[in-house]
Structure 1
């Protein structure tokens, strides 16, 4: 909730395909976009990988923002491979490495959601300036913590703060997002939102996301919500079900913006930030009440197939693909 600095320098570096070990798709060109973004220790240089299907035509693109475990071949790169086959470019920012963090599972404020939102808009600006990318057809899909980014970036107040005169995301697809932050101004940019939730998700839960969805719809948002029965957190993963006893669980935390623009954590009733969004000395006390330890999740083949189909359909419809 800290105040958000202006995103700075943007550059593009072309790399040979051999520099990329987990190949996304044959003949796909890889580039690296870089830009400055905030962190709690001062500005950092963040990079985002850009994967371009072959050809010369302007391409639509999807930004894929990782969750608390960082970028993985089985999720972000796997989705990039799917998009490459569709003729859609992919943008994969890494919010953790430049901030010296591998995972936020045990400490979610080591890299905040606001940090990641800044990265998303930095990557959006960089991609929109690329000669192969259609700046009007860039969407965002995010997973867990990245899902919160995909959701909040649809809010007009957020987009106007980060890129007041810049591009906007054309589509927002949050997968199992954290919905713990409830803004008073629920007007969106107008881009469609597809919220994908798991009925058995105990990591972030569904109650707060239902509430956020209702408020966004009341504000005029075009929002569709799908809840997959029995699906746990990270249903689109691979391997076995998993658990992390020391993982931070914020599913009972609800930070609600007040009429004076200050913030109150609803479970504890504690004011956590002023109108400027800066956390106050009582913020840790609120977390001590609402935060618990222990997170878990696991793959679900049916939900994975259904959510991939829903994502692709949303991309086709929004970008007007065949």
Structure 2
């Protein structure tokens, strides 16, 4: 049964990427309904994978909603079945296992011209790719309003699905378990960066080999996790110099933390590029709330701190309460620090540069011994 929460409207919130321009005014106080749909009735995940398994497959994950309930092992786990689209090169077999990349979508969901396009590109280069459908796994279809979808699923859920997909691919005979990378866009980029934290690996990986490389496409940098140790994998970020949703100083601080915590760090900035350069719609300034000026700091027990305020959340909260806590956090950010807008949209030149960079780092970290 679908649950509904009445929440103050916050517009097209930029913990991630918006799809279309949305004009926002601080004085607007209209209410909106946040839908919390049931999880879909997907087929049961396969217990045993064969070397020719490809296409639409399903794997088990869970829905913590945020770090508070990921860190608390006694919190409800919400078992979740996730769809993954596996693009397997024709030459992949048990005798010839290939590297792979797990792809996490942005807050605009899986898109033909981004996640799917990159999966096909990697497949054509002899690398398997799995596109993870995290929104759909939680019943958050495109028919549900954007705000409802983003409030109902955080980048922590994306990260949890990433590790679930990693364990899933470890069972595939045609995939090299030691050569699986993680690629995320915007919202998914935030999850890709978080997944390199050794705490997340220890909580979610169940001992399988860690990701061989983390590649972050323009993931906003306003979350500070206080990472003290990474898995040791390389972290590569690819961003645009005209993307105001990626604050250069904050991104540099996040990169320095990861480097000090044990990971090689490469930061690529594409001159003149905005946000989501793969999108079909015209490149333009999007007047929407932008979290880049904020800094959310993760406390040791998984709470978010904004300035002097800790977003206190019950350790045993149910799904509806977790989403309410997220709404309050984003509302506080809107009032205290968010700015309005950034450039995004179709940019073939930047997209071409980004593709070349991606293939370079995939070859460097996944296709060489």
Moved more, 309-318 or 195-204: 195-204
Q: Please, what TM-score do these two structures have when normalized by structure 2?
A: 0.72
Asked whether 1:116 is paired with 2:139, we answer: no
* Partner SS, residue 149 of structure 1: helix
Whole-angstrom CA distance in 1 between matches of 2:341 and 2:203: 34
Q: Does the residue aligned with 2:147 lie in a helix, a strand or coil? A: coil
For residues 152-208 of structure 1, the C-alpha deviation after alignment (integer angstroms, 9 at most, x for no partner) is 111111111112423311111000002222122332111111111111112343332
Q: How far is 1:302 from its partner? A: 2.6
Match of 2:364 in 1: 317
Alpha-carbon distance change, 38 to 260 in structure 1, aligned in 2, over 3 angstroms: closer
Give structure 2 stretches of 5+ with no counterpart: 1-43, 66-75
In structure 1, what is the equivalent of residue 25 of structure 2? none
Give unpaired runs (5+ residues) of structure 1.
1-8, 15-26
RCO higher in 1 or 2 (8 Å CA, sep ≥ 6)?
2
1:1-322 aligned within 5 A: 10-11=45-46, 29-38=54-63, 42-55=78-91, 56=93, 57-102=96-141, 105-107=146-148, 108-242=150-284, 245=287, 247-258=288-299, 262-266=303-307, 269-273=308-312, 283=329, 286-287=332-333, 288-292=335-339, 294=341, 296-321=343-368
How many residue pairs align between the two structures? Answer: 299
TM-score, normalization by structure 1: 0.82
Alpha carbons 1:12, 1:33 under 8 Å: kept = no
SS of the residue aligned with 2:46?
strand
CA distance, structure 2, for counterparts of residue 82 and residue 105 of structure 1: 28
Mapped to 2, the partners of 1:315 and 1:85 lie a distance apart of 13
1:300 deviation in Å? 2.5
For 1:12 and 1:51, the matched residues in 2 are separated by: 20
Change (3 A) 1:157 1:36: closer
Q: Quick one: structure 1 residues 292 and 317, their matched pair in 2 at CA, closer, same or farther if it must change by over 3 Å?
A: same
After superposition, the Cα gap between the structure-2 partners of 1:64 and 1:285, relative to the gap in structure 1 and judged at 3 Å, is: closer
What secondary structure is seen at the aligned counterpart in 2 of 1:129? Answer: coil
Any idea what the Cα deviations from partners look like across 1:194-243, whole Å, max 9, x if unmatched? Answer: 11111111234333211101111222320000111211011233341155
* Rounded Cα–Cα distance in structure 2 between residues aligned with 1:193 and 1:51: 24
Tell me, in whole angstroms, the C-alpha distance in 2 between the residues paired with 1:74 and 1:277: 40
Q: Go from structure 1 to structure 2 and tell me whether the alpha carbon gap of 1:254 and 1:275 turns closer, same or farther (over 3 Å shift).
A: farther
Report what 1:19 is aligned to: none
CA contact (8 A) 1:261 1:274 kept: no
Q: Is the 8 A contact 1:260 1:275 kept in 2?
A: no
Write the deviation string for residues 243-262 of structure 1: whole angstroms up to 9, x where unpaired.
554x5422222111347775
RMSD: 3.0
Compare 86-95 and 250-259 and name the one that shifted more: 250-259
